[in-house]
């Protein structure tokens, strides 16, 4: 199996893990801050175990090896998570989704500036089509957004594009310690607003599952897969989480998506699939 194909599969798996966020947020009846706190704690704990097993006594060396890029990945990833949550609270979901779909464009630009990567016209074309699909999903609600929420969503998009580029820049080094730190940092940032001790034992079990399977596993697969593909393709594959997330909520809670959501989701899936299956895509 080529490195490109392996990276593609890992990032599709990462997007699938991330896409379960809507499912868990509907399943667990706690406020958003508490949800984020425990997700960070359990996700970070899972990743910490991975680092301990992976490095076996070389943890300090592994952390130092991530360098400045590792510190930036931890900070930017945590900031992106908090910005995303607040953008969803004060702006329209439609605005946030469309801005989220710009991450591949920022990744392409930053990859060119920082890494000197020039993306293939095919992948750039697929990115444009995926963006159009997200715009269709958002539909007429786009015009109802709020400036501050859209600004936070933009900060999130640029931050995640930078995370992808920085992980790729250190592709010879495991960045699992960095994404582990980002999970704990996210929990620390939201702690003042959360009520972590007011959850029941049953809710805590679901929060643990949420933190490990959605956040921890998603970050782990992102750290493993990103160095193996271009920054633009990595970001493009991440867009998959939106139509997949809509699908899981539809199947689990019978929340019927609109016709535009179905059409837009189909466009996004078709764009990603066309890029993945293109004969030259794994070079």
- Residues 5-62: tens digit of each pLDDT: 899 999 999 999 998 988 888 889 898 899 999 999 999 999 999 999 998 878 999 9
Whether residue 142 is predicted with pLDDT greater than 70 in this model: the reply is no
- The pTM score is 0.87
Q: Are 181 and 74 in contact (CB under 8 A)?
A: yes
Determine the pLDDT at residue 92.
64
pLDDT bin (cut points 50, 70, 90) of residue 216 is very high
* Burial class (CB within 10 angstroms; exposed 0-12, middle 13-18, buried 19+) of 200: exposed
pLDDT in tens, 74-94: 999 999 988 887 877 776 666
pLDDT at 44: 96
Contact (Cβ atoms closer than 8 angstroms) between residue 87 and residue 153: yes
DSSP character at residue 196: G
């Amino acid at each position: 199996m080529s490195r490109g194909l392996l990276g593609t599969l890992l990032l599709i798996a990462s997007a699938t893990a991330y896409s379960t966020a809507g499912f868990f947020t509907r399943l667990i009846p706690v406020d958003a801050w508490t949800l984020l706190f425990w997700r960070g704690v359990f996700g970070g704990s899972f990743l910490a175990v991975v680092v301990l097993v992976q490095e076996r006594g070389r943890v300090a060396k592994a952390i130092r090896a991530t360098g400045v890029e590792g510190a930036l990945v931890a900070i930017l990833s945590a900031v992106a998570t908090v910005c995303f949550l607040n953008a969803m609270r004060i702006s329209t979901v439609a605005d946030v989704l469309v801005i989220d779909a710009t991450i591949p464009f920022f990744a392409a630009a930053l990859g060119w500036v920082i890494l000197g990567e020039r993306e293939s016209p095919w992948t750039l074309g697929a990115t444009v089509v995926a963006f159009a699909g997200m715009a269709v999903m958002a539909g007429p609600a786009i015009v109802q957004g709020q400036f501050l929420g859209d600004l936070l969503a933009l900060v999130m998009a640029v931050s995640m594009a930078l995370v992808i580029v920085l992980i790729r820049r250190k592709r010879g080094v495991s960045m699992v310690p960095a994404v582990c730190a980002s999970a704990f940092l996210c929990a620390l940032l939201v702690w003042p607003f959360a009520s972590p001790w007011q959850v029941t034992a049953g809710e805590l079990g679901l929060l643990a599952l949420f933190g490990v399977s959605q956040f921890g596993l998603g970050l782990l697969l992102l750290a493993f897969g990103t160095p193996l593909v271009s920054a633009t393709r990595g970001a493009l594959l991440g867009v998959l989480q939106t139509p997949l997330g809509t699908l899981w909520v539809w199947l689990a809670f019978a929340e019927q998506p609109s016709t535009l959501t179905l059409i837009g989701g189909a466009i996004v899936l078709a764009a990603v699939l066309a890029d993945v299956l293109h004969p030259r895509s794994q070079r």
